[in-house]
């Protein structure tokens, strides 16, 4: 677990870099498609699974009280966007975070960590992106990436996973995402800051993916870019309704008919990280009075962080 309590600064372009890095694909798992790399077949319709039976399926803010006694803590499900409807915090959340002794999030950021992560998004010594994906698809990817402020030779050197992560976030979402809004508020209140992961650990997930999988995900994200943006809006709507069950059900629907790629990615990005974060947050819960903020898709279900914390002897109650 990492910790940081000194002043955190993120001017201008640095904020934009952070927004790009917050695209961890819980927002969009594009459905698997067939066809040649240079072609864009139509997307198959998605049918969301039933959300009503999903454990911890309703609510964003949860109170965690140890069965053995002691001060409670709070767990808040976030969405990594800067939509003004999202970053306007409800009173229950501001009350919990303002009174917390410590603040915990997925990963802390400083300029060195972000610079190291950013460097891993590019591979100047490897095959250029146009060669990997072909001129037709690259032209489409280049035009889309330009709308995110990435242009010129930089695009040629992007790793495929970095390109599809960037294109899987909301277009025009250049503000400060919710997670950083919460962190800055906690810092102003003097809370101790902790990260459950490092940016290097998160980058390892994508670096370890076979190149063929990276290329396939990039192709599908480019080909179905309009659908990706529509799904982001759909998921933001579910978030604003505090419908964790609906978010989880929709994300699982993306794996229907898939040959395993989406499920492998979900296992790496969600299931394994749930276990890691639930384990690493326990010392903060033992201390008590902690405010924990992690992506909303990590919370619900039998394999979600809330269920994992319950099994460690905590009573979990929805607050908001």
pLDDT band at 109 (very low <50, low <70, confident <90, very high): confident
* Model pLDDT for residues 138-149, shown as the tens digit of each residue: 999 999 999 988
Contacts of 231 (CB under 8 A, 6+ apart): 27, 28, 250
Residue 102: Cβ within 10 Å count: 20
Share of the chain above pLDDT 90, in %: 60
What value does the mean pLDDT take over residues 89-116? 93
Give residue 44's pLDDT: 53
Share of the chain above pLDDT 70, in %: 82
Phi, psi of 62, deg, nearest 5: -125, 140
What value does the mean pLDDT take over residues 36-44? 53
* Model pLDDT for residues 166-182, shown as the tens digit of each residue: 998 887 777 888 999 99
* Model pLDDT for residues 200-236, shown as the tens digit of each residue: 998 999 999 999 999 998 998 999 899 888 888 888 9
Handedness of CA 170, 173, 176, 182 (dihedral sign): negative
pLDDT band at 186 (very low <50, low <70, confident <90, very high): very high
302: nearest Cα among 280, 273, 271, 276: 271
Q: CA 310, CA 25: separation in Å to the nearest integer?
A: 26
CB 155 within 8 A of CB 145: yes
Task: Of 14-23, 120-129, 177-186, 203-212, give the lowest mean pLDDT range.
Answer: 14-23
Q: CA 219, CA 140: separation in Å to the nearest integer?
A: 10
pLDDT band at 250 (very low <50, low <70, confident <90, very high): confident
pLDDT band at 50 (very low <50, low <70, confident <90, very high): low
- Calculate the average pLDDT of the chain: 85
For residue 264, pLDDT over 80 is answered with yes
CB 30 within 8 A of CB 209: no
CB 147 within 8 A of CB 228: no
pLDDT band at 33 (very low <50, low <70, confident <90, very high): very low
Give residue 311's pLDDT: 98
Residue carrying structure tokens 């800067």: 82
Q: CA 155, CA 128: separation in Å to the nearest integer?
A: 9
């Amino acid at each position: 677990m990492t910790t940081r309590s000194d002043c955190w600064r993120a001017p201008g372009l640095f904020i934009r870099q952070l927004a790009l890095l917050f695209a961890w694909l819980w927002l969009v798992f594009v459905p698997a498609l067939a066809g040649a790399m240079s072609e864009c077949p139509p997307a198959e319709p998605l049918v969301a699974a039933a959300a009503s039976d999903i454990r911890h399926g309703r609510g964003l803010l949860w109170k965690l009280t140890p069965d053995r006694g002691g001060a409670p803590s709070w767990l808040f499900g976030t969405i990594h966007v800067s939509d003004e409807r999202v970053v306007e915090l409800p009173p229950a959340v501001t009350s919990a975070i303002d009174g917390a002794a410590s603040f915990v999030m997925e990963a802390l950021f400083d300029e060195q960590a972000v610079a190291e992560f950013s460097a891993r998004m590019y591979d100047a010594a490897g095959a250029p992106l146009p060669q990997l994906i072909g001129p037709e698809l690259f032209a489409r990817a280049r035009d889309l990436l330009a709308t995110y402020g990435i242009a010129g030779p930089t695009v040629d050197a992007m790793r495929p996973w970095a390109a599809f992560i960037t294109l899987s976030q909301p277009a025009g979402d250049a503000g400060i995402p919710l997670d950083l809004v919460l962190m800055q508020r906690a810092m102003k209140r003097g809370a101790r800051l902790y990260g459950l992961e490092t940016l290097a650990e998160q980058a390892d997930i994508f670096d370890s993916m076979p190149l063929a999988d990276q290329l396939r995900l990039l192709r599908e994200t480019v080909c179905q870019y309009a659908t990706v943006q529509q799904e982001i809006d759909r998921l933001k709507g579910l978030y604003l309704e505090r419908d964790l069950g609906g978010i989880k059900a929709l994300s699982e629907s993306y794996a229907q008919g898939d040959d395993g790629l989406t499920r492998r990615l979900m296992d790496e990005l969600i299931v394994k990280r749930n276990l890691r974060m639930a384990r690493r947050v326990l010392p903060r819960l033992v201390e008590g009075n902690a405010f924990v903020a992690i992506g909303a898709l990590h919370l619900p279900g039998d394999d979600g962080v809330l269920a994992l914390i319950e099994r460690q002897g905590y009573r979990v109650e929805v607050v908001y």
